[in-house]
C-alpha cells in the first residue's frame, strides 16, 4: 500500500534521485528541464512558500514518486503550476497518478488558485492522457517563466 504525504526534510535526496532517474529513463535533456532546476536538491525548502505544497509517494519506506503545486513564476497569483510529477516504474499503473492529481488539484483549489498550468514532453503520452482526463487543455505557447525551455507541451486547467 502506497502513502501520499507532504514532503519532509529527510525526503530531499530521495525525491531528487527519483526525478533524475525518471528524466534519464525518458532521455529528457538535462538542460532546460527539471533536471537542471536548482530546487531539485532542496524540494522541502522550495515548497515552504505560501500556497505551495509538494507531496511524495512512499511505499514500504521508499520514496517512489511525487508532485507539487507552486505559484507559476512571472504570472498572476491566481495561477499555479503542477510541478515535478514523476513516478518510478514500480509506482506506475497503480492509480497513483490519478490519486496524486486529485490531491494536488484539491490543494490548489483550497488555497484559491483559479488556474493550474503544466509543462511536459511530447513523448510523455501516458502523462498527457492523465492530464486530459483531469480537464487540462493544450496551449499554443508557454506561460510564466519556468526556465524549462526544452519542454514544448503546455497545458492549463481552470479550477
Q: What is the mean pLDDT of residues 21-27?
A: 89
What average pLDDT is seen over the chain? 93
Kindly report, residue by residue over 101-159, the tens digit of the pLDDT.
Answer: 999 999 999 999 999 999 998 988 999 999 999 999 999 999 998 877 778 999 999 99
Q: What is the pLDDT of residue 21?
A: 94
Higher-pLDDT residue of 68, 27: 68
Instruction: Classify domain 2-158 by CATH architecture.
Output: 3-Layer(aba) Sandwich (3.40)
| Cβ–Cβ < 8 Å for 83, 147 | no
Domain boundaries, the chain: 2-158
Kindly report, residue by residue over 121-134, the tens digit of the pLDDT.
Answer: 898 899 999 999 99
Is the confidence at residue 58, as pLDDT, over 90?
yes
pLDDT band of 99, cuts 50, 70, 90: very high
Amino acid at each position: 500500500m502506497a502513502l501520499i504525504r507532504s514532503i519532509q526534510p529527510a525526503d530531499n535526496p530521495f525525491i531528487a534521485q527519483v526525478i533524475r532517474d525518471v528524466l534519464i529513463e525518458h532521455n529528457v535533456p538535462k538542460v532546460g528541464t527539471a533536471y537542471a532546476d536548482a530546487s531539485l536538491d532542496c524540494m522541502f525548502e522550495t515548497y515552504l512558500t505560501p500556497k505551495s505544497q509538494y507531496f511524495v509517494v512512499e511505499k514500504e519506506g521508499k520514496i517512489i514518486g511525487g508532485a507539487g503545486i507552486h505559484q507559476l513564476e512571472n504570472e498572476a497569483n491566481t495561477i499555479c503550476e503542477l510541478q515535478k510529477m514523476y513516478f518510478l516504474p514500480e509506482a506506475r499503473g497503480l492509480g497513483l497518478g490519478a490519486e496524486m492529481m486529485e490531491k494536488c488539484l484539491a490543494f490548489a483549489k483550497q488555497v484559491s488558485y483559479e488556474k493550474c498550468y503544466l509543462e511536459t514532453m511530447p513523448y510523455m503520452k501516458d502523462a498527457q492522457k492523465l492530464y486530459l482526463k483531469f480537464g487540462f487543455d493544450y496551449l499554443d505557447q508557454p506561460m510564466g517563466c519556468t526556465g524549462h525551455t526544452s519542454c514544448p507541451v503546455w497545458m492549463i486547467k481552470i479550477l
